[in-house]
């Protein structure tokens, strides 16, 4: 962990300027498949239909801490937002508030749209105490940071993005499934309420991603409305 933090300190504000001037589309390729690790976010546009995806993926992927489990405290390197270039525990900062945590293993063509949807949800329900943050699992923060910063710049995200060591995804921590490109963890009073996950193929398909994202937003809105 110490070595990882030292490597991440090398990130500077200059990265934001350089990466922010490029378009988000430059992060993705038109050929090939999603990278097997989080340090090479090069993906392809989806070519399979929704029915083909359902056949390929089967049931919904289970990823993230079990419902009812306490979300552990952990430090990450903030890549965007007010805490940029600092070691931050977002779990600690958000306290008992309702939180949407987005854990990324790979960047896909649909990742910006997912983050934008979460960002817009937070903006609408901030008065109800809802907060969010994103963390990408990688042991090479200097490689993935420019990609995250470009997404944040292009999508005009208020959602803070960060990078954490890959060990955070292990079972005794966040329990992130290795095949999940994105895992959504909704918790309140630091207890997990529910989780959702996207495989690479699900995140790249516009129809599937839009439907699943809408369900996540609606379920979170319902949670907040039930509290009133």
pLDDT for residue 224 is more than 70: yes
Query: How many C-beta atoms lie closer than 10 Å to residue 100's C-beta?
Result: 22
Band of residue 58 on the pLDDT scale cut at 50, 70, 90: low
DSSP per position, 5-23: HHHHHT--HHHHHHHHTS-
Q: Give the per-residue pLDDT at 227.
A: 77
Q: Are 155 and 115 in contact (CB under 8 A)?
A: yes
Residue 119: give its domain's CATH number. 3.40.30.10
Q: Give the per-residue pLDDT at 1.
A: 52
Domain that holds residue 44: 2-226
How far CA 150 is from CA of 80, 134, 208, in Å, comes to 10, 14, 24
Q: Give the per-residue pLDDT at 53.
A: 45
% of the chain residues with pLDDT over 70: 74
> By three-state DSSP, how is residue 31 classified?
coil
pLDDT tens track for 205-218: 999 999 999 999 99
- CA dist 157 and 163 (Å) reads 16
pLDDT tens track for 153-177: 999 999 999 999 999 999 878 999 9
Average pLDDT, the chain: 81
> What's the total number of domains in the chain?
1
Q: Give the per-residue pLDDT at 42.
A: 33
Q: Give the per-residue pLDDT at 51.
A: 45
Band of residue 108 on the pLDDT scale cut at 50, 70, 90: very high
User: pTM for this one?
Assistant: 0.79
pLDDT tens track for 62-96: 999 999 999 999 999 999 999 999 999 999 999 99
pLDDT for residue 47 is more than 60: no
């Amino acid at each position: 962990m110490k070595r990882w933090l030292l490597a991440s300190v090398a990130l500077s504000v200059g990265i934001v300027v350089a990466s922010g001037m490029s378009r988000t589309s430059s992060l993705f390729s038109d050929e090939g498949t999603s990278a097997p690790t989080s340090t090479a976010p090069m993906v392809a546009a989806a070519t399979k239909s929704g029915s083909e995806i359902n056949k390929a993926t089967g049931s919904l992927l289970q990823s993230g801490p079990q419902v009812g489990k306490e979300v552990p405290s952990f430090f990450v390197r903030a890549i965007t937002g007010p805490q940029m270039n600092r070691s931050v525990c977002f779990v600690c900062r958000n306290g008992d508030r309702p939180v949407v945590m987005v854990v990324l293993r790979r960047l896909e063509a649909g990742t910006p749209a997912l983050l934008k949807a979460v960002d817009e949800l937070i903006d609408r329900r901030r008065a109800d105490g809802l907060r969010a943050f994103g963390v990408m699992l990688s042991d090479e923060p200097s490689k993935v940071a420019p990609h995250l910063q470009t997404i944040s710049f292009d999508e005009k995200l208020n959602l803070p993005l960060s990078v954490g060591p890959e060990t955070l995804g292990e079972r005794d921590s966040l329990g992130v499934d290795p095949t999940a490109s994105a895992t959504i963890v909704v918790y309140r009073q630091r207890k997990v309420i529910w989780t959702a996950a996207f495989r690479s193929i699900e995140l790249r398909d516009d129809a599937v991603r839009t439907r699943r994202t809408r369900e996540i937003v609606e379920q979170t809105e319902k949670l907040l409305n039930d509290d009133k």
